[in-house]
Amino acid sequence: MNGKCLCSAVEFQLDEPIPSLYQCHCSLCRKLTGSASDTAMLISRDQFRWVRGLDKISSYRTNTGYRSDFCSSCGCTVPHLMSKTLYFWVPAGLIDGELHSQVVAHLYVDSKAPWDTIDETGARFAEMPEMEALTRLLHENSEKIESDLV
């Protein structure tokens, strides 16, 4: 499965199985996306490959450690290796073609915007759950979704 930024300068590949998605409703993710939440996946480092454009990636980090990587040509948010983990954060909207993943978790629901409506699907977390628990939830649910599609 391939993904790329808006101008196609930054491109990457993901190997199957593709994990389920989560939505983060924190104020930083709202600012990053300009919408109610950030929809993304956490994919193992050994399932992720850059195709091109590493030289086009710029980074911004807040004093609290929140990180945003983006294409220096079009400004589009792009994946990055999360610090202290073996996972890449991958925005779901960058994936080309049909993505058969579902949102199975909502993070920071206690700080969502008052106008944000979260549907009934998926686990809800007041804040950020432990990384191990979140990655297990995303990967376990992807296996169930794939078997339902067969």
Q: Region 141-148: what's the mean pLDDT?
A: 52
Q: Which residue shows structure tokens 């992807």?
A: 142
Mean pLDDT rounded to a whole number for the chain: 91
Three-state DSSP string of 109-134? HHHCCCCCCCCCCCEECCCCCCHHHH
- pLDDT tens digits along 12-65: 999 999 999 999 999 999 999 999 999 999 999 999 999 999 999 999 998 888
Going from N- to C-terminal start, the domains of the chain cover 2-149
- pLDDT tens digits along 56-90: 999 999 888 888 999 999 999 999 998 888 899 99
17 preceded by a cis bond (ω within 30 of 0): yes
Q: Which residue shows structure tokens 């296996």?
A: 143
The answer to whether residues 2 and 97 touch, using CB atoms and an 8 Å cutoff, is: yes
Distance CA 128, CA 107 (A): 6
- Which one is the CATH code of 2-149: 2.170.150.70, 2.60.40.10, 3.30.465.10, 2.60.120.620? 2.170.150.70
Q: What is the largest CA-CA distance in the chain?
A: 46
Query: What pTM does this model have?
Result: 0.89
